Amino acid sequence: MSARRSSDHAESIRTAINGHPKVEALIQLDTVSVAPGEVLVAAKIAFAETIRLSDLAAAINEVSAAIREAVPTASPIYLEPDVYTPTAPGTEAIVIRGAD
């Protein structure tokens, strides 16, 4: 059986992740049905730059538990911590005045 993208539970998973107080932003979320009753979850999550490693590990475990509570078939769950960096504005938004 081949894996296929699953959006059935994506909103519940997104809500569980964004509901954690230490999560600053959900950068990317992918869900894939890998077997009947099994949904692989892969997410890139932004946490504060200043978060301590022990607090980060605890937050990741708490987010995993929240995902499993919201979607019991979520397994395996892979969470990648990151720091959110908004994309730079396009060059059309930058105006440089000449010295003429």
pLDDT tens by residue, the chain, 100 residues: 445 555 678 999 999 999 999 999 999 999 999 888 899 999 999 998 899 999 999 999 999 999 999 999 999 999 999 988 777 555 555 555 666 5
> Domain 4-93 carries which CATH code?
3.30.70.1350
Q: Where are the domains of the chain?
A: 4-93
Its pTM stands at 0.78
Q: What pLDDT score was predicted for residue 36? A: 87
Q: In whole angstroms, what is the distance from residue 96 CA to residue 38 CA?
A: 54
What is the dihedral angle through the alpha carbons of 68, 69, 73, 78, rounded to the nearest 10 degrees? -10
